[in-house]
Structure 1
Amino acid sequence: MEQAPCISQIASLLAEPKRTAMLWALMDGSAKSSQELATLTGLSPASANAHLARLTGGGLLRVEARRGKRLFRVAAADVSTAIDALASTTMASAARSSPQASPLTLAAPAPLRHARLCHGHLGGELAAQLYQRMIAAGWIERHELRTQVTVKGAQHLAGLGIFTQALALPLVCDCFDWSQQQPHLGGALGAGLLQLFLQSNWIRAVNESRALLVSDTGLAEITRLAVPDAL
């Protein structure tokens, strides 16, 4: 056991609800002052500063000086990845432990709900809506627990420069979206679509956040994909 990674220090930092609330508020890539974070979490300024000192000392947050103010931001992309994974695990474990209960909802910052990175593909509202359009348009279809690309879908995707026969396996799979309570597209095709969107400058990353910024052109182009007029 001496070789086991020492994760208890980070786990203890995340075990305090007020500290996780602070991290959650910064998941959209924003930088906030201690006063803002104190207000968001219902803490006194002194308590907020104490928690922020621990998060900063633990390497989860970093401090920026801007116009005489000290602002706090997620320290690196791996922190956002870990928090996002914990959100997914929270949803999944709640469903396993209480399968008959109403699905748990997590209130996330709006940019994170709209579009975000998820295991190398697009997640969030934009991705969930695209998934539903692709099913309705006959680009993909589901058989019990299996999702696959149709011949029609492969033809349309080739027109976008995505050749499904050249992609790795698994080609496509459902990825449950914790913010939307429905699936979006995972697998190599999900990753290929994300790369298309990034290379087309339709979306771009936001600092160390999992959130993705969608341009007006990008929103129009992605929304146009797999609509009935495009069949």
Structure 2
Amino acid sequence: MSATDGVFARGLAEAAGAELLALRESMGFDDPAKLRAEGDRRAHELIMAELARSRPGDAVLSEEGSGEQGRTGTSRRSAERVWIVDPLDGTREFGEAGNSDWAVHIALWERGSGLTEGAVALPAKGYTLATDEPPTYPELGSQAGPRIAVSRTRPPAFMADLAAAVGGSLVPMGSAGAKAAAVVTGTVDAYVHAGGQHEWDSAAPVAVAWSAGLHASRINGVALEYNASDPKLPDLVVCRAELAQVLLAELARLL
């Protein structure tokens, strides 16, 4: 891994996050739809401009991108380095006053190595998790069972059964980045998602989770792969390493 790329990823995520905080402050929440659209646009443009300036030879896959920078681009498939970014993860939450469950995702994929760097900025929470300074997640607490982060708007139908099977509880949250960060910081013990995501939703969170020693895979235990021709990557498990075996076993039984 390149420390320079890691520092760059952190700085870029934080710069976009600062732009988004300032936008919230200036626009307010009277027109949430306009705020969300402007947030997506401004964060994307800032990230693209900085990548073009600082990493001009690298390819980009962005949720808000078009052409070669979007999901239908083909040049990234043969590139040696690809930045996979979500300029504003949790757009719904960004447009809600008082909601801090939104993030900026910056990840670097390198041929032959996969994800090598990543940064997840949580601007409204006031911190960034990144691979340049791999976080250490705290020891498992004394709670009765694992706390599992799930989507607050579209949790998988099987999640109640999964929680019951492992003696755990569900914690609804917004933004894939916020949920993965909650695992890294020990606020929850696992994050399980099914039903639709793309590479930009999970690349940076997974890079950070792996750097912290957490488990991350598809819900069937298959390895996560990035820079695919189709960037759809619909399901994800991020959890404490010691919980992976039991969670994956129960998921295999339920699905």
Name the TM-score, length of structure 2 as normaliser: 0.28
State the TM-score, normalized to the length of structure 1: 0.30
Computing the radius of gyration from Cα coordinates, the structure with the larger value is: 1
